[in-house]
Amino acid sequence: MGVCYEIGDGVKKDEVKAFEWYKKSAEQGYSDAQNDLGCCYEDSIGTKKNLVKAVYWYQKAAENGNEVAQHNLGRCYKYGIGVEKDETKALEWYNKSAKQDHSNAQNDLGFYYESIEKDLEKAFYWYQKAAENGNKSAQYNLGRWYKCGIGVNKDKIKAFEWYKKSAEQGYGDAQNDLGFCYESGIGVEKDLGKAIYWYQLAVEIGNKFAQYNLSRLYKHGDGVSKDEVKAFELYEKSAEQGYTDAQSSLGSCYEDGIGTEINLVNAVYWYNKAAEKGNKFALYKLGKCYKYGKGIEKNEVKAFELYKKSAEQGHNGAQNELGFCYKNGIGTNIDLEKAIYWYQKAAENVNRIA
């Protein structure tokens, strides 16, 4: 009855009644109800949020062998939800759940072994298990591994296949990466129409990477009619979610009047946002703003510092500018040896000015 009231199956949806029925069943020891009661307390379904009670009921269900609750309890220990953080206990409960074939726990175990304990063999084992059980997050993770050659030999076709499986289940990052596969011909023939299709699906669920990628296509008219206003709008959405490439590109839109009016103060604002997170493109662009006093007071020392940070990340325009700074004493002392070094770096990166 609790499930029926929670989702409105055969009865009018009523979360308070759902909570009451879950509670009655849970108090009689039914583990599914104990887990669902924990979810009610965690997510404020039919009752006030109470994370301590959520953990209590997850614990009850987990001890009764409920694999979903075991995963939920592991998650609580991992993130400190209603209980003190404890990686050891999180791992213990994830393992119990994963061994019962709970795919979310299997995927989380894969992530644990990839990012925390650094055992790529175990990580792959659990990602593979979860992916074969249809877990969209794990399917995406396997695609990522095959694309980048993490713990496995690079295999663009397998990467594409796993991205596709995940994307078809509505996983935004996979939809974005599948779009990129179609755009770039990774594991499949190039098809801008399909790239746009998958980018658009991911954009509709707010994926910041897809917002950025689709904006690129609108900006340049690749596969779609050129539309700088749409490009600007998508850059803005992505930038507001913290994606640094979009923040840098949004700065360029404000600097150059792409899809919006020129506003150098806004340009500097967005360059600075991305530069604070180490984005090499934004560091370079912000350096130019400081060098020429565009949208901000001229400051050659800051320009030099920003060029240096960008150049050290391999941005060839910044490498060329850094060489120029050393040659002419802009924001630093003249040092011809360093000037030659950075000009050479820029030339190796095919900078047409250097």
d(CA 103, CA 130): 5
Residues of the chain with pLDDT > 70: what percent? 95
Tokens 């801008």 belong to residue? 192
pLDDT tens per residue, range 148-191: 999 999 999 999 999 999 999 999 999 999 999 999 999 999 99
Specify the pLDDT at position 350.
72
Are 1-100 and 279-354 equal in CATH topology?
A: yes
pLDDT tens per residue, range 188-218: 999 999 999 999 999 999 999 999 999 999 9
Show Cβ contacts of residue 67 under 8 Å, excluding neighbours closer than 6 positions: 96, 97, 100, 101, 102, 105
Whether the predicted pLDDT of 10 surpasses 90: no
Q: Which two tokens stand for residue 61?
A: 């269900």
pTM above 0.85, yes or no: yes
Specify the pLDDT at position 12.
66
pLDDT tens per residue, range 13-70: 768 888 888 899 999 999 999 999 999 999 999 999 999 999 999 999 999 999 999 9
Q: Read off the amino acid at residue 300.
A: E
DSSP at 50: -
Question: What CATH number labels 1-100?
Answer: 1.25.40.10
Specify the pLDDT at position 8.
55
Residue 229 CB: number of other CB atoms within 10 A?
Answer: 11
Show Cβ contacts of residue 134 under 8 Å, excluding neighbours closer than 6 positions: 103, 169
Whether the predicted pLDDT of 6 surpasses 80: no
d(CA 248, CA 262): 15
Whether the predicted pLDDT of 5 surpasses 50: no
DSSP at 259: S
User: Domain limits of the chain?
Assistant: 1-100, 279-354
Q: Which two tokens stand for residue 76?
A: 């609580």
pLDDT tens per residue, range 272-327: 999 999 999 999 999 999 999 999 999 999 999 999 999 999 999 999 999 999 99
**Is CATH 3.20.20.70 the right assignment for the domain spanning 279-354?**
no
Specify the pLDDT at position 7.
54
Report, as an integer, the average pLDDT of 133-146.
98
Nearest to 181 by CA among 204, 217, 147, 215: 147
Report, as an integer, the average pLDDT of 243-253.
98
Which whole-number Å values give the CA distances from 40 to 13, 62, 114, 288, 352, in the listed order? 15, 16, 31, 53, 61
Whether the predicted pLDDT of 4 surpasses 60: no
User: What pLDDT band is residue 349 in, cutting at 50, 70 and 90?
Assistant: confident
Which whole-number Å values give the CA distances from 286 to 70, 76, 165, 267, 270, in the listed order? 49, 42, 41, 9, 9
Specify the pLDDT at position 126.
98
Whether the predicted pLDDT of 87 surpasses 80: yes
Specify the pLDDT at position 213.
98
Show Cβ contacts of residue 153 under 8 Å, excluding neighbours closer than 6 positions: none
Are residues 238 and 246 in contact, defined by beta-carbon separation less than 8 angstroms? Answer: yes
Specify the pLDDT at position 15.
81
Are residues 35 and 45 in contact, defined by beta-carbon separation less than 8 angstroms? Answer: no
d(CA 185, CA 191): 8
Q: Read off the amino acid at residue 310.
A: S
Look over the chain and give the mean of its residue pLDDT values, rounded to a whole number: 95
Residue 62: strand, helix, or coil: helix
Whether the predicted pLDDT of 132 surpasses 60: yes
User: Residue 314, by phi and psi: left (phi above 0), alpha (psi -120 to 50) or beta?
Assistant: left
Q: Read off the amino acid at residue 198.
A: W
